[in-house]
Amino acid sequence: MERARAIDRVEAILDAVESDPMPVPVREVWVYGDVALGLDPIERLDVYVTKDLLMRGDAEAGERFRTSHGVKGVGKSVSAEWADAHSEHLRANANGYAAPEKCLAAHLLPEEEPVHLEVCNASFEDNVRQRLKGAIDRDAYEQILDPRGVCLYADGQRSESALEKLRTGELVFPTLPEALEMLGMEEESASVAADAVRDYRASQTGATVRGDVV
C-alpha cells in the first residue's frame, strides 16, 4: 500500500469514528508499525482501537435481529442503533453472537485492502505489555503487538498534530528489536521475536481483525 493511500485510510477511519454510530463506543484509535515508521510503501496498515462496553441493553432489538438475521446479542454486545443503521456490517462469532471486533472491521475496513485491525478493551500501551508477557510465557512471539504506535484519537478528540506528523513521516522510533529490549526482553530473544512478528504479518492478506480482552 502506498503511504498516501494508507494515510487516507487512517483519516477515513477517524472520520467514521467521529461521525458514524459505532457498534461499540470507541475510546482510542492508534496506528502502529510500518505506517508509524514513515515507510513508503508499507506492507500492511496496522490500526488499534480501544473499545468500551455498552452501558445498557436492548432486549427487544436483540430478539428482532435474532429473528431477522440469525445473530444474537444485538443491543447487548453491539449497539442496536448501529445495527439498525448498518445491518450489512453485522457480523457474528462462531457461537452466533454479534462480535464487536468483526462488526468494527466490517464497518471501517474495505475487504481488499491490506489493513489489520486490533480491537481491545485496554489501551494500546497496556495491551502491548500484556501481549508481550503472554507471548513470552507461551513462546508465541508472533502474537506480540508492535509497541511503536501513535495515538490519533482519544476520548472524543482527534489529534491533528499527531496526524500531520504521521502524514509527513516526522516521527522517529527504534527498530522493533530495540523497542522490545526497551520493554525488558533480552537482546537475542528480542531479535528472534521481531523476526517472528515480521513473518506472521507477511503471511496475512487483505483486511484482518483480532479481538482481545485484557
Residues 72-95: tens digit of each pLDDT? 999 999 999 999 999 999 999 999
Taking residues 112-122, report their average pLDDT: 95
Torsion region of 58: left, alpha or beta (phi above 0 gives left; psi -120 to 50 gives alpha): beta
User: According to the model, what pLDDT value does residue 29 have?
Assistant: 98
pLDDT in tens, 151-202: 999 999 999 999 999 999 889 999 999 999 999 999 999 999 999 999 999 8
SS3 annotation, the chain: CCHHHHHHHHHHHHHHHHHCCCCCCEEEEEEEHHHCCCCCCCCCEEEEEEECCCCCCCHHHHHHHHHHHCCECECCCECHHHHHHCHHHCCECCCCEECHHHHHHHHHCCCCCCEEEEEECCCHHHHHHHHHHHHHHHCCHHHCCCCCEEEEEECCEECHHHHHHHHHCCCCCCCHHHHHHHCCCCHHHHHHHHHHHHHHHHCCCCCEEEEECC
Q: Is residue 66 part of a domain?
A: no
Domain count along the chain: 1
Q: Is residue 40 part of a domain?
A: yes
User: According to the model, what pLDDT value does residue 132 have?
Assistant: 96
Range of the domain at 161: 3-55+99-212
Q: Is residue 122 part of a domain?
A: yes
Average model confidence (pLDDT) for the chain?
94
| Dist CA 194 CA 179 (whole Å) | 10
- Please enumerate, as own/partner, the contacts of 200-203 that have beta carbons within 8 Å and a separation of 24 or more: 200/142, 200/143, 201/33, 201/43, 201/44, 201/116, 202/43
Instruction: Answer for the pair 80, 86: CB distance below 8 angstroms, yes or no.
Output: no
Q: Is residue 76 part of a domain?
A: no
Q: Is residue 86 part of a domain?
A: no
Torsion region of 187: left, alpha or beta (phi above 0 gives left; psi -120 to 50 gives alpha): alpha
Q: Is residue 153 part of a domain?
A: yes
pTM for the structure as a whole: 0.94
Q: Is residue 79 part of a domain?
A: no
Q: Is residue 62 part of a domain?
A: no
